[in-house]
Amino acid sequence: MALVILAPASTLAVILLNPQNWDQGQVPAGWHLRVIHGKPDFLVSSEGGGPSIRLKSVDSSFGLERGTDVNPYETRYLTWSWKVSRLPARGDFRNTATDDQAAQLLVAFADRRVLAYIWDTTAPKGTERSAAFIPLTRIFAIVCESGEAQIGRWVQEARDVAADYVRAYGNPVPHVKGLRIQINSQHTGTAAESYFGEVAFRGNLP
- The pLDDT value given to residue 28: 84
DSSP label at residue 48 = G
- The pLDDT value given to residue 21: 85
Q: Within the chain, which residues score under 70 in pLDDT?
A: 1-11, 48-49, 132-135
Q: Give the contacts of 75 (CB within 8 A, at least 6 positions apart).
A: 10, 12, 13, 14, 201, 202, 203
Q: What is the pLDDT of residues 160-198, one digit of tens each?
A: 999 999 999 999 999 999 999 999 999 999 999 999 999
Any domain includes 1: no
Strand 128-130 vs strand 31-37: parallel, antiparallel, or unpaired?
unpaired
Domain count within the chain: 1
Any domain includes 5: no
Any domain includes 2: no
Any domain includes 126: yes
Q: Is residue 61 a contact partner of residue 41, using CB atoms and an 8 Å limit? A: no
Q: Write out the residue range of the structural domain in which residue 167 sits.
A: 13-202
Any domain includes 173: yes
Any domain includes 3: no
- The pLDDT value given to residue 84: 97
DSSP label at residue 161 = H
Alpha-helical regions (H) of the chain:
161-169
User: CATH number, domain at 179?
Assistant: 2.60.120.260
Any domain includes 75: yes
- The pLDDT value given to residue 180: 97
pTM of the full structure? 0.91
- The pLDDT value given to residue 46: 85
- The pLDDT value given to residue 193: 98
- The pLDDT value given to residue 195: 96
Any domain includes 181: yes
